[in-house]
């Protein structure tokens, strides 16, 4: 559905002749019907990538295709296949109602929104009662739903959401995750740009982690979690006075000491490594109290990739 190939975008640095590589030769594809997340810290290049896809930024080089149509060569036709919710809560006309916003944004795309279609979308999003209220009187969560309603009114198969949970309270953010899943169930393809790992963990099928303008990993979310889950171990040891000295001797550099327990967190590439460590501990008379497989959340995966420890 979306193909990004060798995308590069640089911006001039303030007070310097150098250029900042906001997006550094990235490639990825978004497949039909999936929720694809671009995850990364602030300044990673996610929004620049998203804005390049929706034709708001002209890249230095590379190719972007939406349903086989080049955004750079045939912007209008390519954009007719996507609708976008851009970052922030100012992407709607605040002095207009949700219905008026939907009708306007559908209209400027050349589409006439009929009443029953608008009513159906608003009902699905739980906005039916708010349809005639001016947007600036709605809560942040309702405003974000209205932005989604505007997207749905366009009737496109692909939705691009830039930082969609930014500024939402916890309840609204949780509700929003369900909403994104619903979009997928309605047959939509969703490209998310976010730094909200809870959102990614809850809804994404595939994830591209961006850092410093590059994609450091692009993989199915499940595989990423499995990969890390297989490696994470928490080993508790019973200290006997020389335990820490022995650990240092065996090459360990980090552990936590909590009362009568020394705790080690290990990332191992295979079970064989674990057996080797157990053998070393036995030889050095380090008493093991317990070994637990650690639960892995997306935060750990993200940090591992973005700080270069992976």
Partner 1 sequence: MLNAFIANFQKSWIEFKRYYFNTISGLATVLIFFYLIFFGIKAIGGSTMDFGNTLEGVIVGYFMWLMFIFSFQGVAWGIIDEAQRGTLEQVFVSPIAFEYQMLFRMISDFVFNVLFAVPLMYFVSYTTGKQLNFDLPTLLYLLVIGTVSALGIGMMLGGIALVFKRISSFIQIITFGSLAFTMFDLSKLWYRFLPMSQAAYLMRKLAINGTKFYQFHFLDHVILWSVAAIYLAAGILVFRGFEKRAMITGTLGQY
Least distance (Å) from partner 1 to the CB of residue 287?
Answer: 59
Task: Pick from 94, 123, 245, 299 the residue near partner 1 by CB under 8 A.
Answer: 94
Footprint on residues 194-253 left by partner 1 (CB under 8 A): none
Structure tokens at 4: 């990004």
* Binding range to partner 1, per CB under 8 A, among 76-84, 114-122, 197-205, 248-256: 76-84
Residue 111 or 246 having the CB closest to partner 1: 111
Q: Is 80 an interacting residue with respect to partner 1 (CB under 8 A)? A: yes
* Binding range to partner 1, per CB under 8 A, among 83-91, 116-124, 138-146, 184-192: 83-91
Q: Is 100 an interacting residue with respect to partner 1 (CB under 8 A)? A: yes
Task: Pick from 14, 17, 42, 95 the residue near partner 1 by CB under 8 A.
Answer: 95
Task: Pick from 58, 128, 250, 283 the residue near partner 1 by CB under 8 A.
Answer: 58
Q: Is 108 an interacting residue with respect to partner 1 (CB under 8 A)? A: yes
Least distance (Å) from partner 1 to the CB of residue 82?
Answer: 8
Other CB atoms within 10 Å distance of the CB of residue 123: 12
* Binding range to partner 1, per CB under 8 A, among 89-97, 125-133, 186-194, 245-253: 89-97
Q: Is 43 an interacting residue with respect to partner 1 (CB under 8 A)? A: no
- Spatial strand order of the sheet with 61-66 comes to 19-30, 2-12, 61-66, 69-70
Nearest to 239 by CA among 202, 166, 289, 201: 289
* Binding range to partner 1, per CB under 8 A, among 73-81, 194-202, 217-225, 290-298: 73-81
* Binding range to partner 1, per CB under 8 A, among 46-54, 190-198, 207-215, 236-244: 46-54
Task: Pick from 41, 93, 214, 267 the residue near partner 1 by CB under 8 A.
Answer: 93
Q: Is 68 an interacting residue with respect to partner 1 (CB under 8 A)? A: no
Least distance (Å) from partner 1 to the CB of residue 272?
Answer: 50
Footprint on residues 2-31 left by partner 1 (CB under 8 A): 9, 11
Show the 3-state SS of the chain: CEEEEEEEEEEECCCCCCEEEEEEEEEEEECCCCEEEEECCCCCCHHHHHHHHCCCCCCCEEEEEECCEECCCCHHHHHCCEEEECCCCCCCCCCCCHHHHHHHHHHCCCCCCCHHHHHHHHHHCCCHHHCCCCHHHCCHHHHHHHHHHHHHHHCCCEEEEECCCCCCCHHHHHHHHHHHHHHHHCCCEEEEEECCHHHHHHHCCEEEEEECCEEEEEEEHHHHHHHHHCCEEEEEEECCCCHHHHHHHCCCCCCEEECCEEEEEEECCCHHHHHHHHHHHHHCCCEEEEEEECCCCHHHHHHHHHCCCC
Q: Is 55 an interacting residue with respect to partner 1 (CB under 8 A)? A: yes
Distance, CA of 218 to CA of 28 (rounded, Å)? 8
Distance in Å from the first CA to the final CA of the chain: 30
Least distance (Å) from partner 1 to the CB of residue 186?
Answer: 21
Least distance (Å) from partner 1 to the CB of residue 83?
Answer: 8
Task: Pick from 24, 29, 57, 229 the residue near partner 1 by CB under 8 A.
Answer: 57
Contact set with partner 1 (CB under 8 A): 9, 11, 48, 51, 54-58, 75-80, 82-84, 86, 88, 90-96, 100, 103-112
């Amino acid at each position: 559905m979306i193909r990004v190939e060798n995308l590069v975008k640089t911006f001039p640095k303030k007070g310097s002749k150098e250029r900042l590589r906001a997006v550094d030769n990235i490639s990825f594809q978004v497949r039909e019907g999936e929720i694809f997340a671009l995850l990364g810290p602030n300044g990673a290049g996610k929004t620049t990538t998203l804005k390049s896809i929706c034709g708001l930024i002209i890249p230095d080089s590379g190719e972007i295709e939406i349903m086989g149509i080049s955004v750079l060569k045939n912007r209008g036709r390519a954009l007719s296949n996507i609708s976008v919710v851009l970052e922030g809560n100012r992407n709607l006309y605040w002095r207009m109602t949700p219905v008026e916003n939907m009708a306007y944004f559908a209209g400027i795309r050349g589409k006439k929104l009929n009443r029953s279609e608008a009513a159906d979308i608003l009902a699905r999003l739980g906005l039916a009662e708010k349809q005639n209220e001016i947007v600036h009187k709605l809560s942040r969560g309702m405003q974000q739903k209205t932005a989604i309603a505007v997207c749905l009114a366009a009737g496109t198969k692909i939705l691009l959401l830039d930082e969609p949970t930014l500024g939402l309270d916890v309840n609204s953010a949780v509700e929003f995750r369900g909403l994104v899943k619903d979009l997928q169930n309605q047959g939509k393809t969703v490209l998310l740009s976010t730094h909200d790992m809870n959102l990614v963990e809850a809804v994404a099928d595939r994830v591209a982690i961006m850092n410093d303008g590059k994609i450091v990993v692009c993989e199915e979310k499940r595989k990423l979690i499995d990969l890390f889950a297989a490696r994470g171990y928490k080993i508790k040891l019973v200290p006997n006075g020389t335990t820490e000295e022995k650990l240092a001797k065996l090459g360990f550099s980090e552990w936590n000491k909590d009362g009568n327990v020394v705790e080690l967190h290990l990332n191992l590439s295979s079970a064989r490594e674990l057996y080797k460590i157990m053998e070393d501990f036995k030889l050095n008379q380090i008493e093991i109290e317990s070994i637990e497989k650690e639960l892995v959340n997306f935060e750990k995966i993200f940090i591992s990739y973005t700080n270069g420890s992976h």
